[in-house]
Structure 1
Amino acid sequence: MMRKTIIAALAALTITLSAFAQKDEFAGFYKGTVEAKKCYPTTSCPDVYAEVYRGPNQKYRLRLLPVIMSRCDVFYDLDNLEAKDGKIEFKGASKAYDLKGEITPKEIVAEGFVHGKNPAKLKLERMEIVPPTLGQKAPEGAVVLFDGKNFDAWRHGDPNIPVNWTLKDGVMTVRPAIKEGKKRIGGSIFTKEKFGPFKLHLEFMMPGYYDKLGQARANSGVIVGDYEVQLLDSFGTEGLWNECASVYRQVAPLVNASTEPGTWQTYDIIFKPAVLENGKLVKLPTFTVWHNGVLVQKETEIAYKTSLFPDKGAEYRHSGEPVSIQLQDHGDLLSFRNIWLQKL
């Protein structure tokens, strides 16, 4: 029975690996212009952006937006699109536009009407978003937590188990926890050193679990002591309190700054622990977070420890003591590189 369990676990891992082996060729952001008579939404600016999202069953969604990584209105929203022969053809009316066109991995071209009567032509090109701190080297005096060579700065949650995440080409990838007899493989990892206030730089890549939704769509977290900044494939979502760059189940990000799965993304996180005087809390801990260079949490107060049940937060007592940083194993194969920290 144990042997069958191990084989089943490894088979599941193989399926998971194959599920994101290839980055989707259409999913991502596009940018271009609209040629049309001056009318809303083209009155002030002819620029237009597109977001192509892939969901379950190889179905796609196309949205046209005035800007990306912002809580803005949507000008066009067409779902249940299918790829065939290297392109996605679309036709239909939605919100401001009635369009017919096609999406390729390089561009989107369409013709139609704005508000049903004004002829319009659109052409957008695929965007490659490079976060401003991507590849940034650790400054002098910084604590290097991962430089692609080893796990020396990390420990397993169980002191008897070594860190055995996958390490390849300077990248470490979550190895989900399984049991092999009495031996555990994989699991969350923690920094050996504990830290007070700090600024953390971390680069991560989401696998493309295109047939999953919500919290099953590539889940992990950067957990500082008891407080979590969520990691999740949230490309194309609203940016809720349990999605990427949220203070998990407490505060949603200011905007959703996620890029598509298979791209390298960045977190730059400033953490300040709670301040206590004579054992009395005088200042809550805070996170300031930049996701892909976009400010998504600004001195956000953390009211209680991360929990699925926030109503229990009133029972929590902050300590203000130095803490370890955890990279969470949530069963999904996220990858990490270039992790360093500056003590503040």
Structure 2
Amino acid sequence: MTSRLSIALIGLSIALPAAAQQQPQPDPKDTEAWAPEPARVVPASSSAAPSDAVVLFDGKDLREWVAAATPDKPAGWTVENGVLTVRGGSGDIQTRRLFGDYQLHLEWRVPATLGGTGQARGNSGLFLAATGAGRGYELQILDCAANKTYVNGQAASLYKQFAPLANACAAPGEWQTYDVIWTAPRFEPDGALLAPAYVTALHNGVLVQNHAALQGETVYAGKPFYRAHGPAPIKLQDHGDAVGFRNIWVRPL
């Protein structure tokens, strides 16, 4: 025999799904964010600088650059036909301005005729933050289209730390691009490391460094380590080879 209580419970269990269907449905507008609005940036055609970028080299002069060893003196490289070229033996150059986090675009070209092998083929370097006395964090510039060298020293490597995820090198004499997102390291007031530097980089449009956490500043021998520093210049290396540069711009983040 079925009790009145059982009948009531059965009726309740049948009614529950209908009651659940009567619950208010979420409104998609509740998850729409309308403020704050991102700043308007006018994109540029090709690889020209966007509207909010600091142009570091536009093919005309070196007003944004100084000698790295003696920052009170002008940069000693040559500018001709819209190209900034390493003048071997004149020393590294660095920006007058200091930067923290940024997005950087740079185009580079090794000479069409190269006689060396390994590290002696169009060697230069992009130092994402120059911390003085030859120190900093280097993204390697080198001909590696058909040139074998140690993988953490080839083009687009974070020198002696991370090999690139791919070899995207163009042939000698062809223009190549680096697009870099640099997140500067953070330090405690006492100089202790709070957060490492991170690098994301594309070489000729190919992802070659994916949010890589640097182990410290670049060193040629031994293990990298950090020294506390603040905003720093961006530096280009004189390694003796006549590497050319053009269309360099940066967007502080």
Superposition TM-score, scaled by structure 2 size: 0.75
Helix, strand or coil: the match of 2:119? helix
- 1:236 Cα offset (Å): 2.1
Equivalent residues in 2 for 1:1-344, closer than 5 Å: 135-157=46-68, 158-159=70-71, 161-177=73-89, 186-223=90-127, 224-225=129-130, 226-237=136-147, 240-279=151-190, 280-311=192-223, 313=224, 316-344=225-253
- 1:319 Cα offset (Å): 2.2
Would you say the 8 A contact 1:274–1:318 is kept in 2? no
- Match of 1:234, as an amino acid? C
Aligned to 2:26: none
- Which deviations, in whole Å up to 9, do the C-alpha atoms of 1:147-203 show, x marking residues without a partner? 0111010001224643231211111111111xxxxxxxx221100001000000000
- Match of 1:252, as an amino acid? A
- Which deviations, in whole Å up to 9, do the C-alpha atoms of 1:91-126 show, x marking residues without a partner? xxxxxxxxxxxxxxxxxxxxxxxxxxxxxxxxxxxx
Helix, strand or coil: the match of 2:98? coil
Q: CA RMSD in A?
A: 1.8
- Match of 2:97, as an amino acid? E
* 242 and 140 in structure 1: CA distance in 2 versus 1, 3 angstrom threshold: same
Corresponding residue pairs, total: 201
Identity %: 42
Cα distance in 2 for partners of 1:207, 1:190 equals 22
Would you say the 8 A contact 1:134–1:266 is kept in 2? no
Cα distance in 2 for partners of 1:164, 1:281 equals 35
Would you say the 8 A contact 2:65–2:74 is kept in 1? no
Deviant stretches of 4+, over 4 Å: none
Helix, strand or coil: the match of 1:299? strand
> What are structure 2's unaligned runs of at least 5 residues?
1-43, 131-135
- Match of 1:295, as an amino acid? L
Cα distance in 1 for partners of 2:113, 2:157 equals 20
Helix, strand or coil: the match of 1:213? coil
- Match of 1:307, as an amino acid? V
Structure in which a larger fraction of residues adopt strand: 1
* 235 and 343 in structure 1: CA distance in 2 versus 1, 3 angstrom threshold: same
- Which deviates more, 192-201 or 206-215? 206-215
Would you say the 8 A contact 1:209–1:218 is kept in 2? no
Would you say the 8 A contact 1:200–1:339 is kept in 2? yes
Higher relative contact order (CA 8 A, sep 6+): 2
Helix, strand or coil: the match of 1:310? coil
Would you say the 8 A contact 2:104–2:248 is kept in 1? yes
> What are structure 1's unaligned runs of at least 5 residues?
1-132, 178-185
